[in-house]
Amino acid sequence: MSQQPDDFERPVRGSRRSDDQAREALLPIIETLAAVTGFDVIGVSGVRDDGYLHHLSIVGPDDAREALLDSLAPAAMLVDALTKADDWGALKFVPHDRHTLDIDRWGWASDAPRDSKPGLWHPEDILVAPMHHADGSLLAVLGFDAPRDGRVPDGAERVLLDTYARQACRAIAAILESERLAEQVRLADAAADIVRRATSSMSVDEALTQSGPSIVDGFRADALWIHVFGSEPRPVHDAAPHSPPPALVDILARYAEAAWERQTVGVFAPDRRAPEPLDEGELTAVLEFLDAESLLVVPLGAGADCLGWIGLTRGHGSAEWSAGETAVARDLGRDLGRALANATNYEREHRLVQELQELADYKSHLVATVSHELRTPLTSIVGFLELLEGDPGLSDRSRSAIEAIQRGSTRLSRVVEELLVLHRTADSELDGARKVDFAAIVADIVDLNAGPAARRDIAVTGRLTAGPAWVLGAQHELEHIVANLVSNAVKYTPDGGHVLVTLEESDSTVLLTCTDDGIGISAADQDHVFEEFYRSTDPAAMHQAGTGLGLAIVRRIVDRHGGTIEVESTLGSGSTFRVRLPAA
């Protein structure tokens, strides 16, 4: 077993795995595990490209969350410790006396007594469920600590714990894989846009002026600089540009020439080695000049000639440069180099478009597969919950656990159903459209929401057309539009409020308006409310459960029906959504 270095200090920095969407998806899983397994501390850690475990989501006491959330620890040390683990199926248990990890520095240890009696839990015991990629490399770790009864689980408890862990690991792996896919899609989209803009330009200046915003956005950078040999380095995008001194320009030029020959890119950051052929002193000189966390240097070239470099920076506490990003950046240097040399790039652009289409198809297939795979175990969970709920001999603790599982199952079921709807509406073409009475749909949904809303003293009223309002479309999708808007209005309206749904008809248009006097939407959030997985940062909105998919699905359905949707809102004063559909 390798020893932990004496000078090991756990850095705390952001990472590409710190996505809020992934955190929101992981949290209900581990909250449910904490409720049903009897462990006070449960967490999920993802493995970064640099070999560190990044603690993504933690359930437990405040001191545990503060110590662990967003912290990093070397994955190799845990892998070494697991070679001495007891095999509990999906779980691996390493007693405190079998490993050499300094838990206080590597992770977190409770203040519980450090009793070594058999069967008692020791604060430095390790219990984890590792998850792996298809190639066998470590993907993530689900960890358990601080059992409430203070004991190491026995045989029967281990069987149940193994079942819970396996189900949770499948869901966690799917979420992290989706996040990885999202990065691929983002980078592929950015690469396609950058190449399209660059290859339509006749100079590198014009190419970067045109493609600069796409580079900055696609790589989530704070600043972008270019240096074409024979000229001075200049900013393409930088809020506060400061020209580098000649000595620093020479260092980066020497690095770019060597990197082009090796076809690599360089990351200049405090916790990384100096990129070859530079030494630590030259790395220090670059970092001292930067008012940033890290610098990604991408050589530009064509054939055997290096023509210059571009530099991308990220601010303090920002994301690590992932392997996927550096790989795309390396390709970007080649493509911009061809633009600089006035070379054609149409064949490559065609290939990138094809890859984007394959990636989009894979994304759609992944969403459908994950949703269907989650549906089956969810159905079983819900079914057995109903059986357990009817058992009169259940203790209060057991009923509390069942209620926690029901809440988690309901939330996950909602995510699965909305993912399936998202998948079904992925195609912009609407097949099997027929004439539908939109007024009847609106009336039914207003009636369905009026009863539950009345329990909160919210009035839901409809002001509809006197007769039918015919539109051409799919009834179940039109129902989804109205149901989502009305239920959202009720959800974000405080007790005693009012929701008004109106339907008007003209010769060519049917107009649905849903108005509430709820919490409202800020101007900044209004620009994003129709994006997939977007959740408002407003505390009042974040307090309400949701997936961030509802309005994205509504927008997609409206587009499929040839209509438009708009929102008008003032924070704290309610919202109005208007949907216009072509009349049949």
Query: What domains are there in the chain, each with its CATH number?
Result: 20-169 (3.30.450.40), 200-344 (3.30.450.40), 355-424 (1.10.287.130), 434-582 (3.30.565.10)
Instruction: Pick from 10-19, 132-141, 356-365 the range whose average pLDDT is largest.
Output: 132-141
Amino acid residing at 102: D
Report yes or no: 208 and 217 within 8 Å, Cβ to Cβ: no
Alpha helices in 492-549 (DSSP H): 523-526, 539-542
116 near 125, Cβ under 8 Å?
no
**pLDDT tops 80 at residue 315:** yes
Contact of 146 with 107, CB cutoff 8 Å = no
Residue 535 or residue 154, greater confidence: 154
pLDDT of residue 568: 93
Name the residue with higher pLDDT: 212 or 63. Answer: 63
Evaluate whether 568 touches 576 at the Cβ level (below 8 Å). Answer: yes
Residue 153 pLDDT more than 90? yes
In sequence order, what DSSP letters do the residues of 160-197 get, joined into one string? HHHHHHHHHHHHHHHHHHHHHHHHHHHHHHHHHHHHHH
What are the structure tokens assigned to 543, written together?
Answer: 């307090």
**AA identity, residue 482:** V
**Lowest-pLDDT range, 202-211, 225-234, 265-274?**
202-211
Task: Note the pLDDT tens digit of each residue in 465-511.
Answer: 888 999 998 888 899 899 989 998 999 999 999 999 999 998 889 99
According to the model, what pLDDT value does residue 199 have? 66
Cα–Cα distances in Å, from 563 out to 351, 418, 481, 581? 34, 21, 12, 4
Q: Which of 94-108, 354-368, 501-515 has the lowest mean pLDDT?
A: 354-368
Burial of 44 (0-12, 13-18, 19+ CB in 10 A): buried
536 pLDDT higher than 50: yes
Would you say 186 and 194 are in contact if contact means Cβ atoms under 8 Å apart?
Answer: no
CB atoms within 10 A of CB 168: 22
211 pLDDT more than 50:
yes
Beta strands 498-505; 459-463: pairing state? parallel
Mean pLDDT is lowest, of 38-42, 225-229, 245-249, for 225-229
Assign 5 to helix, strand or coil: coil
Element of type H or E holding 53: strand 52-59
Could you tell me if 563 and 546 are in contact, meaning their C-beta atoms sit under 8 angstroms apart?
no
Confidence of residue 200 (pLDDT cuts 50, 70, 90): low
The single-letter DSSP state of residue 120 is B
pLDDT band at 90 (very low <50, low <70, confident <90, very high): very high
Least confident of 27-31, 49-53, 169-173, 453-457: 49-53
Q: How many residues does the chain have?
A: 584
- Residue 264, pLDDT above cutoff 60: yes
- Quick one: pLDDT at residue 4? 41
Query: Which of 79-88, 229-238, 368-377, 411-420 ranks highest by mean pLDDT?
Result: 79-88
582 falls in which pLDDT band (50, 70, 90)?
Answer: very high
> How buried is 225 (Cβ within 10 angstroms: 0-12 exposed, 13-18 middle, 19+ buried)?
buried
Instruction: Give the mean model confidence (pLDDT) for residues 409-429.
Output: 66
Decide if pLDDT at 116 tops 90.
no
Min mean pLDDT across 287-291, 308-312, 547-551 is at 547-551
